[in-house]
Amino acid sequence: MPLAKLAGGQDIDCSHEIRRGRNGLARYRVNMTPARAPRERGLEITLRPIPTTPPLLAELHLPDALRDNLVFEQGLVIITGPTGSGKTTLLGSVIRYLLEQPHSHRKIITYEAPIEFVYDFVRRSHALVLNMRSGCICTVLPPRYATVFGVSRW
C-alpha cells in the first residue's frame, strides 16, 4: 500500500520504531515524497528522531496563564499553530503531566497521524492513554484493554 501511494504521487507521513533489546526503543518520524530528476524517479525521505517520552511540562517554560489553562477536569483543549511550532511537544507534555499525577484515573484518547509520542515509559498510577491512527488502536493499553471488547468497556 505505501509503495502504491508513492507511485501515485502521494506523500507518506508515518512513524517508525526500532526495538533495541528488551527496554530500548528508537522512534522516528518519516516523511516520503516522490521526487523526479532528469530521466529518473526517486524518493525524498526525511527521518526525524522522536524522543521516547515527551518533555516535562515544566521544561517548556510556559507562562503560568497558559499552563493553568491547559488542564481541565472535563472538556476539550485545542492546540493550533503552523508546522514546527511545537504543538505535538506541548500536547505530549500535557498528557505526560496528567498521567504522572499520583491519583489520576484519567482516560485519554489521542487521534494522530502519525502517532509521535507513546507513553510506555511514563510513570503513571491508574491513568490510561489510547493512541489511535485512522480508527485503529495502536498502542499503550494494558493487556486487559487491548481488544475491541475491552476498549468498549473502558
Write out pLDDT tens, residues 52-91. Answer: 788 999 999 988 888 888 877 777 778 889 988 988 899 8
φ/ψ of 128, rounded to 5, equals -125, 150
CA 1 to chain centre: 22
Distance (Å, rounded) from C-alpha 151 to C-alpha 58?
A: 32
Which domains does the chain carry? 1-50 (no CATH), 52-154 (3.40.50.300)
Sheet (strand 136-139) strand order = 107-111, 128-133, 136-139
pTM of the model: 0.67
CA atoms in the 13 A half-sphere facing the CB of 122: 29
